[in-house]
Amino acid sequence: MADATKYIPIGGTLNSDLKTLFSISKTRKTLTFAYAFTFAFVLFTVFLAFCPSPNTSSPFFTNIFSSTASSTSSTNAYKSQLSSIFSFFFHNTTSSSPSSFNSTTATAHNTTTSRSTNNTFPSPPKSKRPFKTTPFENQTRTAPSENQTQTTPTISKKSSNHTAKPHDDVVNKEPSSVSNHTRVSGTSYEDKALKKTNHSSNGVASAPKVSGGSPHGNLSSLGKGGDTGKGVVHSNYTASLVKKQKNGNKEEDSRVEDETIEALVKCDFFDGEWIKDDSYPLYEPGSCNLIDEQFSCIQNGRPDKDYQKYKWKPKGCSLPRLDGQRMLEMLRGKRLIFVGDSINRNMWESLICILRNSVKDKSKVYEAKGRVHFRGEASYSFIFKDYNFSAELFVSPFLVQEWEVQVKNGTKKETLRLDLVGKSSVQYKNADIIIFNTGHWWTHDKTSKGKDYYQEGSHVYNELNVLEAFRRAITTWSRWIDANVDSSKSMIFFRGYSASHFSGGQWNSGGQCDRETVPIKNEKYLKEYPPKMRVLEKVLRNMKTQVTYLNVTKMTDLRKDGHPSIYRKQNLSVEERKSPLRFQDCSHWCLPGVPDTWNEILYAELLLKQYQNQHLKKKP
């Protein structure tokens, strides 16, 4: 009997098997439960094996039978299903099914794509000027160039959450004070070359104290910033910065906008290089009939055009391409004033042409008194009627008053009052944005020699060093600013010295630059940083009022190719025709050209100020 029980026949009826299995409990209730359980198990197995929809909402089923959708025959599909079922229940079993390999490959591909997407927009390094971020209204954003090493796919929510985390850590910190943003912008490149240190870190880039308030609290909201692109810079990478892109997600647009602006906050705009960019100039040569003949080099016969195709690229960021329409919206209802010499006129004309180029109805952009030539008068004003905005120029080459005194024989002698600001100052002291400059007139014979020329009160100095005279004049200007300009309502800029490139003489003694067609590449050929600009920096640091120093000296010193040279006018005098090479302009700039970049920097500064003011307003 014991031997017989060892060899129970296999393949008995289901009834007998179940009776054996449930021999402990033979009640009707137990049998009913067993049958029901078996029937349910069979149905569940059939459902798993022959589910008609591979796209069922349950990822559990989809993962098991993902290969069935690609089967081409019933036999292959059947084998694929069995293989999938088998591999599902036995995870460590190796399967040779091609569908399993394809599934794995697809998964790997998806993983790579996801990582690439997440790395496309890395958060910038922690900002020195943290602000709490809030979404801007009516956001637009720029699309990085197609030739950039970093591409711009649509950002998924997952990518957005991933990249925003370091950013959130930065912007949620409490700002120490408003003065973190305000700075004497720029780098004294001579110090950098000699000491291998950043000039701005030695105090030159520190800001004067900032009065409270918001000069641009009513400006339109930001929407478009430049690419912060680090890495390879291609020749036309800025072309796409002029385009507007909305991906439909205001939150993501706002985050990208914040990151872009924060990259500008900590960037020294003036430490960089000129790179070729075929998307430039910002406006076509000859398209702006407002340009003074003196600056219209192409119209005057200059044959080479590459000097127009250079973009200034700071080392720490990328400047946003100037969007004329956007800038006009920011300036709506404002007065923007240029005060200084003919180099500031150069910059003023550049800005008018850039902004006018973005206006559809050009007849609504005009000089207030109908003038078409902009030399010889004390002031000019261009009106942008649709924007209730004016861009004005006040001629004041020294920023202090040119004067006359009577000498013994009844004649008059010209002097320079170091203790009085220009007469026109009362007309612009309440303007929204003021850009000052001085420099070139301090190099002329009369000022550089300083004999019987400088005056304070009724006293005319027999002789006074030009550097000391410059210091006194700038100090007079700075005291007037501190006493008369409300920094809570006005933004003040001081544009630094613009380099000239006379070779073989000066502006009035045969100096030349007509053979220059490319920028200087090696900084060792740059000139010494002007001592007068060191004096200026020291005065700016001691001011109470916020003044942003636009230190364009290095960027202009590199551009020996950008001057009008012999292409300064069309109709030469008899003397000029005899020896045209003796009469060259190597201090002003062709338009389009270098001053357009100064206005792009101004545009970036306005974006920064707008960003700062909006975040300070939202501060609890």
Residue 565 lies in a domain: no
* 454 bridge partner residues: 416
Q: Is position 168 annotated as part of the catalytic site?
A: no
Q: pTM score, two decimals?
A: 0.64
CB-facing half-sphere around the CA of 223: CA atoms within 13 A: 20
Residue 527 lies in a domain: yes
From the candidates 80, 123, 185, 342, give the one annotated as an active-site residue: 342
267 within 8 A of 314, measured Cβ to Cβ: yes
Residue type at position 205: A
Cα distance between residue 441 and residue 451, in whole Å: 15
pLDDT tens for residues 69-88?
A: 444 444 444 444 444 444 44
229 within 8 A of 147, measured Cβ to Cβ: no
Residue 37 pLDDT = 82
Residue 484 lies in a domain: yes
489 within 8 A of 215, measured Cβ to Cβ: yes
From the candidates 271, 341, 561, 585, give the one annotated as an active-site residue: 585
From the candidates 181, 440, 588, 615, give the one annotated as an active-site residue: 588
Residue 412 lies in a domain: yes
Residue 262 pLDDT = 86
Residue 369 pLDDT = 96
Cβ contacts of residue 274 below 8 Å, gap of 6+? Answer: 310, 311, 312, 313, 519, 555, 558, 559
Residue 236 pLDDT = 39
Q: Between 594-617 and 250-265, two packed helices, what is the crossing angle to 10 degrees?
A: 120
Structural domain span for residue 594: 208-240+274-498+520-558+589-617
* 393 bridge partner residues: 338, 380
Per-10-residue mean pLDDT, the chain, length 620:
42 50 56 80 74 46 42 44 45 41 40 36 36 34 38 36 36 35 46 40 38 33 34 37 51 76 92 97 94 94 96 95 97 98 98 97 96 93 98 98 89 95 96 98 92 96 97 99 96 98 78 95 95 98 97 98 94 79 93 98 95 76
337 within 8 A of 382, measured Cβ to Cβ: no
594 within 8 A of 353, measured Cβ to Cβ: no
Residue 549 lies in a domain: yes
Residue 217 pLDDT = 32
> What DSSP string runs through 320-388?
PPP-HHHHHHHTTT-EEEEEESHHHHHHHHHHHHHHHHT-S-GGGEEETT-----SSSSEEEEEEGGGT
Residue 606 pLDDT = 95
Residue 71 lies in a domain: no
pLDDT tens for residues 489-548?
A: 999 999 999 999 999 877 666 789 999 999 999 999 999 999 999 999 999 999 999 999
| C-alpha distances in Å from residue 375, one per residue of 87, 96, 274 | 87, 85, 31
Residue 116 lies in a domain: no
Q: Is position 342 annotated as part of the catalytic site?
A: yes
> What DSSP string runs through 117-145?
HHHHSPPPSPPSS-----PPSS--BPPPP
Q: Is position 585 annotated as part of the catalytic site?
A: yes
405 within 8 A of 452, measured Cβ to Cβ: no
Residue 54 lies in a domain: no
| Residue 27: count of CB within 10 angstroms of its CB | 9
Number of domains composing the chain: 1
Report strand pairing: 379-384 vs 389-395. Answer: antiparallel
| Residue 315: count of CB within 10 angstroms of its CB | 12
Residue 27 pLDDT = 60
